[in-house]
Amino acid sequence: MAGAPSAQTPPVETATQPQVQPEVAAEATVSDYVLFSINVQDFSHPEQSAAALDKIISLHETYNVPVDIYLTDVMAQIYAEQYPALLERLKASPVVAVSYHVRPPRPYYNNYDWLGLSAMSADQLYETILRYETHAVDPVTGQTSDEAGGYQYVSSLIGYAPYAGSALSDDPKISAAAAQVFRELGAQMTIKHGSVNNLGDTKNGLPVRPEHYDYKLYEQVGEDAAQAFETALTQAHDAQGARAPYFVGVKMHDNNFFAAESAWLTVYMNGGKRPPWNPELKAALLSQAGQDAMWAMYEQTVIYVASQQGRIAPVNLPMVLDMIRK
């Protein structure tokens, strides 16, 4: 991450997140909620990624539908250096809340412990993850550099601590150590996949993002948007262990709009799970017809959710945190 500020003695205090915008506050009488989440990660096609994210923000602002944008440090730096106007939109938009997500080659990811974290002592594990979340990572070796990076770097760019920070590791010890680091750096929420997560549930000392149905919208292309969303909502209500209020998590990635697969999957999974890696590998772009179909499904879903306000409330993470605190 050439050009990033130095991180020789990283602090663990960060700026306070901005307050929830009143014009998009959740309605107290609604029991069905939707969280739009955009995971931004495609360093191989930065121009397409930036264009897609700019279009997504415009769409959500037009219909006043909140959205959570999950950045990696690599993508945050690309936007800061190559697309500064987009970074300013992320910081200033009244409907956008920024969170953070971990991607390889950081070693605390599901079935991806190439560094041997599981064999470390508790102190070593904590210090290793803290360094990874305050320093940049060499994309070839996976080792940290002396440049700023990680969760703390994203905080410095957007002006507040990203709301959620989590390591999707299948090792409880690694997951707990990562959660401690994210808590100390300012995260207020964590993410948990593969289970029903009710409002107010916690993991490793942090509230879990509520979700009763993981609606992977990119798998629904070509379906009727309204009918597909209502099916997802029914699945949320019917999920074992679910209790009101109910949450549908609408998930998309930047690469879904333009590429056959993500950059990190292409380089750090398909390209092998051990260093060295070749960050020059690139996934093929979707055909124009494929891109158009993906955009149509996403746009129609946002428009449908917006049309259901009063019955269904779209929210983002600061609004969910406000619900938990009430």
Per-domain boundaries in the chain: 27-325
pLDDT at 30 over 90: no
Closest C-alpha among 269, 274, 270 to residue 143:
274
The string of pLDDT tens digits covering residues 248-276 is: 999 999 999 999 999 999 999 999 999 99
The mean of the pLDDT values for the chain is 92
Contact between residue 192 and residue 265 where contact means Cβ atoms under 8 Å apart? no
The string of pLDDT tens digits covering residues 82-99 is: 999 999 999 999 999 999
3-state SS assignment for residue 314: strand
Q: What is the mean pLDDT of residues 8-34?
A: 55
pLDDT at 20 over 50: no
pLDDT at 19 over 70: no
DSSP 9: S
Closest C-alpha among 112, 98, 108 to residue 265:
112
Write down how long the chain is. 326
pLDDT at 29 over 60: yes
pLDDT at 106 over 50: yes
Tokens standing for residue 322: 């406000």
pLDDT at 6 over 60: no
The better pLDDT of the pair 5, 29 is held by 29
Contact between residue 104 and residue 264 where contact means Cβ atoms under 8 Å apart? yes
What percentage of residues in the chain have a pLDDT greater than 90? 88
Domain 27-325, CATH number (from 3.40.50.720, 3.10.20.30, 3.20.20.370, 1.10.3720.10): 3.20.20.370
- The set of residues, in sequence order, having a beta carbon less than 8 Å from that of 70 and lying 6+ positions away, is 37, 38, 39, 40, 98, 99, 100, 101, 164
Q: Rounded CA gap, 114 and 142, in Å?
A: 9
User: Which pLDDT does position 39 carry in this prediction?
Assistant: 98
User: Which pLDDT does position 26 carry in this prediction?
Assistant: 45
The string of pLDDT tens digits covering residues 118-157 is: 999 999 999 999 999 999 999 999 999 999 999 999 999 9
The string of pLDDT tens digits covering residues 212-233 is: 999 999 999 999 999 999 999 9
Closest C-alpha among 120, 100, 116 to residue 168:
100
Q: What is the mean pLDDT of residues 275-302?
A: 98
pLDDT tier at 17, thresholds 50, 70, 90: low
End-to-end CA distance of the chain: 41
User: Which pLDDT does position 194 carry in this prediction?
Assistant: 86
